[in-house]
Amino acid sequence: MIIWLNGAFGIGKTQTAFELHSRIPGSFVFDPEQIGFFLRKIVPSEVRVGDFQNHLIWREFTYQGLRYVAENFAGTIIVPMTVVDHLYYEQTVGALRHEGLQVHHFTLLASRETILRRLRRRGDGNNSWSARQLDRCLMSLSDEKFVVHLNTEGKAIEAVAEEIAHYIDVDLKPPTWHPILRPLKRMIVQVRHVRL
């Protein structure tokens, strides 16, 4: 089973993915962004495009990589990745479903103000690349193609993970961190995923 977490940059996909990972035994987080960073290193600058998703090879690697892992790994695969283009969605999520793989797709939503606040909290200013993509993401992801829509406004990461688990009928282990220490856990996840 694949759980794909979509949503605007800064919505909390990675935090939710690692919350699910810590509470679903035998799960694995597959991060397609790593494929994008790999492409930036091996593709000549003359060939590079601004957003690595615009490389067809990124979509192919993401689809083939997930298909390979799903066919060889018995556990739950969790994918935190923003995909707002309809064609790119079909070439990744749609292609996996076409192969008969079970993909549960969730789009995490919140207000523009909340997402900007979350971006600032992780160090992205109002003029960062992620912030500049916000309106495009919100407009595209509101489309019915990107259901299931899950409102995260005012919800803790733990509650969002529990709502996803309830929706797909998966039992979660109890949270692994004491409530007082959960902000530290979120900070650790954030530091591990700083993009330089």
As averages over each run of 10 residues, the pLDDT of the chain (196 residues) reads 97 96 97 93 82 94 98 98 98 98 98 95 89 96 96 96 97 81 65 57
Domain, as residue range, for 138: 2-192
Residue 179: both structure tokens together: 């409530």
**What 3-state DSSP class applies to 140?**
helix
pLDDT at 169: 97
pLDDT at 196: 46
Q: Quote the radius of gyration of the chain (alpha carbons, Å).
A: 16
User: In terms of pTM, does the model score above 0.85?
Assistant: yes
pLDDT at 128: 93
Query: What CATH number did the domain enclosing 13 receive?
Result: 3.40.50.300
pLDDT at 148: 97
Number of domains observed in the structure of the chain: 1
Strands (E), the chain: 2-7, 28-29, 77-80, 103-109, 149-151
